[in-house]
Amino acid sequence: MITLQPLRWGKPYESMEIKDVVHFDTGEPIAKFGSVGGGIVARDMKQAHKARAALLKHSTADLIAMSKKAADLFENAELPVGDSMQSVDQFVHQQSASTGLPEHMCRSNLKKNSFVLSHIDEILDCLTRGLDLDILSRGYGEEGRGVIVSYQAQTPVLGAILPNNSPGVHTLWLPAIPLQIGLALKPGSQEPWTPYRMVSAFIAAGVPAEAFGLYPGGHDAGGAIMTKTPRSMIFGSAETVAQHAGNPRVQAHGPGWSKILIGDDVVDDWELYLDVMVESVLSNSGRSCINCSGIWASRHTREIAQAIAERIGPVDVLPPTDDNAQLAAFTVPAMATGTYAMVQQDLAESGVTDMTADYGDKLIEREHCAYLRPMVVHADSPDRGVAMKEYMFPFVSVVECPQAEMLRRIGPTLVGTVLTRDPELVAAAGACVEIDRVNFGPIPTNRLNWLQPHEGNIIDFLFRSRAYQVADLPVAATA
């Protein structure tokens, strides 16, 4: 059985606290996972400057080349992971077994992470608006207009408290390495696979091992990463995000409440957009913050909800190895039962209708896991509580709301797909600060263009633009 041990700036640490990673359906151990406490993390963070120093020995161009090689290795090669060699198929199988995601979704996330890394030069070019990356290395430089620009690294390493259940989010920390910023990662207890394999791929591609810290552990390990690294990202609940709001040291990622807004000018043709809506709700088993949790329109909302329900309502549990499996398991059954109880409360409100009621039981309980089958809910007004809900399974509220009120009522929206030709609505949606990523036209909310920033630009997070003035020193008069 594979054993994953913490990595302390490239050196494996033999933890005495070993936990089993278990198969979500059978409960059988599939891996062993060593952990560390906050003390070790805090101690290592004192050496974080060495991680950046090791990366600064390589040019950004070299690191980009290594990243592209790492992308290929990550996606295709057998790599040393923990105390074993891991093939791609083993990776997919292990990730599916511990997270409950169907294997084809694990492969899809694998390719997504690899894609981002293999296009990292283009992504950095876009995120820096074409800046010469040597300026980030050196801290200053001349951009070509006769003016010195300076971008000062705010941290030697990027800390990240990674989630248990979303292998797709790892794209967010990948740019750190070519930016010559080390990584201190706390892998999720059920999804250690991507960070371990990715770090292995980076090292195999020539990136210095001392740039990487992998610190599996409990809350105190995560807390130490966050308090000891000047810049960190965390993935969690709405409460987690609220807790870190306004903290420039922390980029908090939580629920997305992503939405599709349909303008009055096209809503009568809503059937043209049905595929976009279904994909936005159902992809990746509805687990992502970029999955659509709300579809807002001023009319036809019942028909829209009914049509989506007819498409996703029949989706049932299939084995994780089945290429047609659309549903991921809740590896902690109580999360499914708790979620379902919350949905029941939502449905109890007047004006809320379960449009998938005819498609059988929603809560499927197994011995070691549980599933929630897709649900489509109609809300006759944005006043209904369900209009602002997001759950970790394919769940969408179709909300009836006058167009004039829509942007004022939608609340935080990570991805907003706006379907309209109405220039006034386009302008208003473009200006709406509730929407982070905005799509105009039939773009499913889950399809991200990685050349665009996501929840803030990581360049702005890791580097600070500042003044940098230089004048020649006067030459002392010689005797």
Partner 1 sequence: MPPDVDSPACPITARETTKRMSAAQTSIPEDVAKSASEAKDRLNEHTLKIVHWHFSEETGSPFWLEKKAELGFDPLTDIKSFDDLKKFPHFEDEWLRGGPIQRWIPKGHAGKPVYVFETGGTTGVPKSRMVIEDHWKDYELFSETLPDEHFPQGSNWLMLGPSGPRRLRLAVEHLAQHRGGICFCIDLDPRWVVKLIKKGWMEHLEEYKKHCIDQAVTVLTAGHDVKCMFATPKLLESLGEALEDRGTSLQEVGIKGIFSGGTEFTPQWTRFCVEELLGGPVEEGGVYMTPTYGNTLMGLACSKPISAADGYKISYYAPQPRAVTEVVSFDDYNQVVGFGETGRVKLYTLTDEFFVPGFMERDEGEREAPFDMYPWDGVSGVRPFHELASATTVGVY
Contact footprint for partner 1 (CB under 8 A): 15-17, 35-40, 42-43, 46, 220, 223, 226-227, 239, 243
Taking the CA of residue 31 as centre, how many other CA atoms within 13 Å lie in the half-sphere pointing to its CB? 28
Cα–Cα distances in angstroms (integers) from residue 340 to residues 38, 293, 335, 374, in the given order:
35, 16, 8, 11
Q: How far is the CB of 179 from partner 1 (least distance, A)?
A: 27
Q: How far is the CB of 201 from partner 1 (least distance, A)?
A: 28
Separation CA 437–CA 169 (nearest Å): 16
**Residue whose pair of structure tokens reads 């369900």 in the numeric block:** 386
Shortest separation between residue 368's beta carbon and partner 1, angstroms: 16
DSSP string, 189-234: SS--HHHHHHHHHHHHTT--GGGEEE---SHHHHHHHHHHSSEEEE
Between 150 and 243, whose beta carbon lies closer to partner 1?
243
> How far apart are the C-alpha atoms of 321 and 327, rounded to whole Å?
12
Q: Which is nearer to partner 1, 236 or 402 (CB)?
A: 236
For residue 217, the minimal CB distance to partner 1 (Å) is 10
* Residue type for position 222: G
* 86 vs 339 by CB, closer to partner 1: 339
DSSP label of 395: E
Q: Which is nearer to partner 1, 29 or 430 (CB)?
A: 29
Q: How far is the CB of 239 from partner 1 (least distance, A)?
A: 7
Task: Quote the least distance from Cβ 49 to partner 1, whole Å.
Answer: 14
Nearer to partner 1, 137 or 165 (CB): 165
Q: Which of 154, 151, 158, 153 is nearest to 177 (CA)?
A: 158
Sign of CA dihedral 364, 236, 88, 221: negative
For tokens 């490239």, what's the residue? Answer: 10
Residue type, 80: P
Least Å from the CB of residue 223 to partner 1: 7
> Smaller CB distance to partner 1: residue 245 or 476?
245
The residue among 370 and 386 lying less far from partner 1, judged by its C-beta, is 370
Query: Shortest distance, CB of residue 339 to partner 1, whole angstroms?
Result: 17
- Tokens standing for residue 416: 């907003």
d(CA 238, CA 388): 12
Residue 37 is encoded by which pair of tokens?
Answer: 């406490």
**What are the angstrom distances between the C-alpha of 168 and each of 173, 177, 288, 345, 446?**
11, 18, 8, 30, 11
Is 18 or 431 the residue whose CB approaches partner 1 more closely?
18
**Which amino acid is located at 279 in the chain?**
E
CB atoms within 10 A of CB 395: 26
- Residue 6 vs 187, nearer CB to partner 1: 6
Sign of the alpha-carbon torsion through 167, 185, 455, 250: positive
Question: 35 vs 118, which CB is nearer to partner 1?
Answer: 35
Smallest gap from Cβ 236 to partner 1, in A, equals 11
Residue 468 CA to residue 216 CA, distance in Å, equals 40
Write down the least CB distance from residue 17 to partner 1, Å. 5
Tokens of 142: 């001349």
